[in-house]
Amino acid sequence: MKNIVFVCTGNTCRSPMAEALFKSILEAEGYDGKFTCSSAGVYAFEGDNATYEAIQAMTKFGIDISEHYARTLNFEMIKNAYIILTMTRNHKRMILDVYPESADKVFTLKEYAGYTEDDWDISDPFGYNLEVYEACAEEIETVLLKILDRL
What pTM was estimated for this model as a whole? 0.96
The rounded distance, in Å, linking the Cα atoms of 6 and 86 is 6
Cα–Cα–Cα angle for 22, 25, 26, nearest 5°?
A: 85
Dihedral angle over CA of 15, 2, 98, 119, nearest 10: -50
The rounded distance, in Å, linking the Cα atoms of 34 and 30 is 9
Domains detected in the chain: 2-150 (3.40.50.2300)
pLDDT tens, residue by residue, 54-101: 999 999 999 999 999 999 999 999 999 999 999 999 999 999 999 999
Catalytic residues: 8, 14, 124
- The per-residue pLDDT for 145 is 95
